[in-house]
Amino acid sequence: MPELYLRLLNRILTPVLLLLALYLLFRGHNLPGGGFIAGLMAAAAFQLQILSRGHRSVRSTVGPYLHSGIGLGLAVAICAGFVGLLEGTFFKGIWFSLHLPFLGDLKLGTPVIFDLGVFLVVASVTTSYLLGLSRVSDTASLRLDETVSRIRYDSAGSNPAEASVEPGPRAES
């Protein structure tokens, strides 16, 4: 079971990380930041969730949407390129500004939409890696427990039945 402080930190840090990711995403056109960094930041938030709540519960909540996230991100990024065709060239940046009542003008454009696609792809891919890795480390620690309790195998990989499955390419001739 995760530590108490980790669970407490999780409550505070996850919203902060996600907001920071959004901030990085939208400032990224002219300043350091952008879709890739923001995606990594969002994945860090998910990693915190995995550490504090265990990978099973995270998998059951966000796991089903990861593939769709990759697909959606790719589709959004490419479609941002197609918008540029309106001005003659694929991926040409088209800008328009949006007037917000209190915050002033917000400049939006197809590069931002492209960055949004990149953000979705990176966040989904990295989260799925992290979920996969945590499952692998879980199985490894389970095996380690087995090894410690009853000393039968030297290590997890040294099962002789697994070692030589495939003969060399000339062996069957």
Question: Which three-class secondary structure state does DSSP give residue 99?
Answer: strand
Write down the least CB distance from residue 111 to another protein, Å: 8
Q: Single out the residue of 47, 12, 42 nearest to residue 25, CA to CA.
A: 42
- Looking at residue 151, the DSSP 8-state letter turns out to be -
Among 9, 84, 113, 147, the residue binding another protein under the rule CB under 8 A is 84
Beta-carbon contacts of residue 26 (< 8 Å; ≥ 6 apart): 112
Sole binder of another protein in the list 68, 97, 137, 159 (CB under 8 A): 68
Question: Does 91 sit near another protein (CB under 8 A)?
Answer: yes
Radius of gyration of the chain (CA): 23
Structure tokens at 95: 């800008």
Residue placing its CB nearer to another protein in the complex, 154 or 172: 172
Site residues (CB under 8 A) for another protein, limited to 140-169: 165-166, 169
Stretch near another protein under the rule CB under 8 A, chosen from 5-13, 63-71, 97-105, 130-138: 63-71
86 makes contact with another protein (CB under 8 A): no
Shortest distance, position 109 Cβ to another protein, whole Å? 11
- Helix (H) and strand (E) counts for the chain? 6, 2
Binding of another protein by 71 (CB under 8 A): yes
Per CB under 8 A, 60 contacts another protein? no
Residue 123, number of CB atoms within 10 A of its CB: 29
Compute the least distance from the CB of residue 122 to another protein, in Å. 14
For tokens 């890739």, the residue is 36
Task: With beta carbons less than 8 A apart as the criterion, state whether 38 and 25 touch.
Answer: yes
Residues of this chain that interact with another protein (CB under 8 A) are 64-65, 67-68, 70-75, 78-79, 81-82, 84-85, 88-93, 165-166, 169, 172-173
